[in-house]
A and B are shown apart, each in its own frame.
Chain A
């Protein structure tokens, strides 16, 4: 679906990504983890072609992404990023429908089908009945789910989520990831989720990519990648890993007694 090879990105003198290779496959939820400043957000911007690369290329379904126009990319790749505050009163429905920009003409109004699609995406994200509410009246968790619904409404086959669970309570964190995971399984979509929450990664990701200093340090299934040794080394904090007896999934517990920075 999307293949990035030998990606190098530098801002002025700082090299952010150095010769990074990454393949994104349909139906897979890929988690990208790594310490602050590892280049995770830049990677997301590279994958949807909104950052110029210094070297290498990202190829989307056979076409280098920098040869595609923005609407063409938007139809195939959708993004959930940190949200700006909306300065103008906007309903949830208006917000989600705005996400279908790439599908309509310049003067166009949304069709009945567009509105139905938006409603069903809202329902999928647990926002049934919220269409008429104003964006600035929503809670943080609801807003984040609206962002997800807007990304779904594009019908793009690849979803990029940059720290989608930041500032969310436990239930909303799980809900976000579950909905994304279901989308991957049901529609064969691919998702790339940048996150710091290793337990969410262990519970929901099919594959983990560890990014350190602009390079892929390792990648593979969570149970192979999320080892005590690697996490402790990469994040410079000692952790314990075991199996959660209820879910059967890997569980990562930070050990705060050790001195950070090892």
Chain B
């Protein structure tokens, strides 16, 4: 069948793109590295700084893009995005609380980030939902309200921090991969792989949910279960990403949108393609972020927002 063949080719291309972006991400940086004969310092830069950073970026991108794609289908809203819905801020608040109150227990950060993401998702969903259903605008507004509320608590918490920690936190809040560790990478890798697979198990149900919850129910979807699986999984993916790298915004908006433009809206392709393309996108954005004004760095979230915000306006207008 030609359609499937074309999707196979597209998948291959995407994986190639990811490989190229990963290679560039490892090669490029403020310090030029001789790959064939690296000095000891260069070897350390590669192994301890660049490789974990690039790998973490890939996993974060995969998580955010795939979670965004799933949330959009579930909420029937092309503008739904973890960052705009306040899910990322919920996770950020969770991480900060863990950092402030349980700073010695590093494992509390991803756990509380997940908790924060879940609570924010639930709050936005409850606020946005009315008897008449959920309009695009209502959902976006609810996201804004929850984001603003959470931001104010985050700001309150930052006032408890000293100046050095404050600067690193501000960077982290905007999405920052410079603190990458292999520990964070393994955790987000697990979230990216397991999360993408779990969301893909709901892809056919989401194809119906995209049209309407009632349609989905009529055609055999256990709507409540699908909603729960998607909310929990996407919250875990966003939560673990944020715990590792802060709130990288708009990835979940840009990537699924481009994937849909190229391959159509079938979630069986949109979800895995978004994961792979999201990985490449964040690594590319981070490579730009740390090379464009080298040796100084920008937070990766600044780059993604620079692309994402205009796209959001375009999508909102078109809606």
A residues in contact (CB < 8 Å) with B: 48, 50, 69-75, 78-79, 81, 83-84, 86-91, 94-95, 98-99, 101-102, 104, 106-109, 112, 150, 154
Contacts and interface: CB of A to CB of B under 8 A. Distances in A.
For B4, B202, B217, which residue has the most chain A Cβ atoms within 10 angstroms?
B217
A91 B208 CA distance: 13
B181 interface: no
Contacts of B212: 83-84
Given A69-B222, A70-B221, A101-B208, A88 B215 contact: no
Nearest to B7: A109
For A94, A98, A102, which residue has the most chain B Cβ atoms within 10 angstroms?
A98
Contact of B215 (A71, A81, A94, A109): A81
Contacts, number: 92
5 contacts: A69-B222, A84-B215, A88-B265, A94-B264, A109-B4
For B201, B220, B268, which residue has the most chain A Cβ atoms within 10 angstroms?
B220
For B73, B205, B219, B265, which residue has the most chain A Cβ atoms within 10 angstroms?
B219
B211 A95 contact: yes
Given A78-B218, A88-B73, A95-B211, A107 B205 contact: no
B64 interface: no
A154 B219 CA distance: 8
B167 interface: no
B217 A70 contact: yes
A87 B204 contact: no
Given A50-B217, A79-B218, A106 B204 contact: yes
Given A74-B220, A107-B200, A109-B4, A91 B76 contact: no
- Top 3 nearest A-B pairs (CB, nearest first) are A74-B220, A102-B220, A84-B212
Contact of A94 (B77, B207, B220): B207
Interface in B63-80: 72-73, 76-78
Interface in B158-209: 200-205, 207-208
A106 B225 CA distance: 13
B201 A107 contact: yes
A95 B266 CA distance: 9
For B4, B221, B265, which residue has the most chain A Cβ atoms within 10 angstroms?
B265
B41 interface: no
Nearest to B225: A70
A87 B202 CA distance: 19
